[in-house]
Amino acid sequence: MDAAASRVLLDAKRAKRLTFAELGELIGRDEVWVAALFYGQARADETEAAKLVSVLGLDQALAIALTEFPDKGLGPVVPTDPLIYRFYEIMQVYGMPMKAVIHEKFGDGIMSAIDFSLHIDKEPDPKGDRVKVTMSGKFLAYKKF
């Protein structure tokens, strides 16, 4: 899905004053997955796509774009958006420590980004609300051959 289709979806969502969570409830998906779909990072089935474009009041032709196989990723450049950059920075600072702890606990392997879930929660705090990000991915050990 191209950036223009994403813009149409996001504009319609805003105009209808809907949240990703509300749209997710409509189709039985998590809010993060719906956001990924709107940004061209996930793929809907035909039923999900039809429901979304219908509730957003968009042309059913857009549903086809939602069912196409996505090209995933941000691209080869360092992100410039401040919030996205902070996740990049977290990986620069804590990536190797996280890798070391995962290897100590699980062995030589990776955390799947396919068999994976991501949840974002708001934690009230007297010093200022906190963002809680929970990532859970299946451990995949490297094969020895």
For the annotated catalytic residues, the residue numbers are 86, 89, 112
Q: How far apart (Å, rounded) are the C-alpha atoms in residues 109 and 111?
A: 7
Q: State the DSSP string of the chain.
A: --HHHHHHHHHHHHHTT--HHHHHHHHT--HHHHHHHHTTSS---HHHHHHHHHHTT--THHHHHHTSPP--S--SSPP-SHHHHHHHHHHHHHHHHHHHHHHHHH-SEEEEEEEEEEEEEEE--TTS-EEEEEEEEEEEEPPP-
